[in-house]
Structure 1
Amino acid sequence: MFRKFKRLFIIKTRFEACAVIYALGVGAVTRGLQYMEQYPGFIGWLFFACCTGAVFMGGAKILEVTRPDTGERRRRSDLEGQERRSEIVQAVSEKVPGRADMSRAT
């Protein structure tokens, strides 16, 4: 019984993800309009943009998580970016001086 209840809160398909994002968007726009009434002018528009911007970021993450993993990347740059990051981390770790070297440098 608990598993069936828990299943209600798990987003598995892209349709469910889109429904959740739509609901978040409607709520964010409603809250943004309330901010615009409460804070007229630029600050109201800024709060409105923050509300909707949060939905864009959250929605992107939800859609990314629900994308089926085929094992293939869409772009070659995705793989190159991972290799590049590992090279940078390795180069930085080699260049970081020890504590004794830092005390002599100052």
Structure 2
Amino acid sequence: MLSKIKRLFVIKTRFEAFMIIFALALGAMTRGAHYTVEYPGFGGYLLFAATAGAVMLGGAKILDAIRYEQAALANAAEKSTQ
């Protein structure tokens, strides 16, 4: 039963990855907008850019991990059929 619940929190497809990245981006941009209000001027915009950059780096890592896992599964399936 625990393994079934655990599978709910595993990103399996690129679509799921994009949905998670979108949610992360919404939160980051909201936080960045608050930073520009809280810290007016260059500092606020720098923090805004940092939140956007963090999502971009995280999203790229998620997408790379999905591609790597799918390739590993394909290689394992290929080896098992030989």
TM-score normalized by structure 1? 0.63
Q: Which has the larger radius of gyration?
A: 1
Partner of 2:27: 27
Ranked by relative contact order (alpha carbons within 8 Å, sequence separation 6 or more), the top structure is: 2
| 4+ aligned runs moved over 4 Å, structure 1 | none
1:8 & 1:47 partners in 2: Cα distance? 33
For each residue in 1:18-62, what CA deviation from the matched residue of structure 2 results, as whole angstroms up to 9, or x when unmatched? 000000000000000010110001000000000010000000000
Structure with greater proportional helix content: 2
Backbone CA RMSD of aligned residues: 1.2
Q: Name the structure 2 match of 1:11.
A: 11
**Counterpart amino acid of 2:6?**
K
Q: Distance in 1 between matches of 2:4 and 2:54?
A: 30
- Listed as ranges, the gaps of 5+ residues in structure 1 are 72-106
Tell me, which stretches of 5 or more residues in structure 2 are unaligned?
76-82
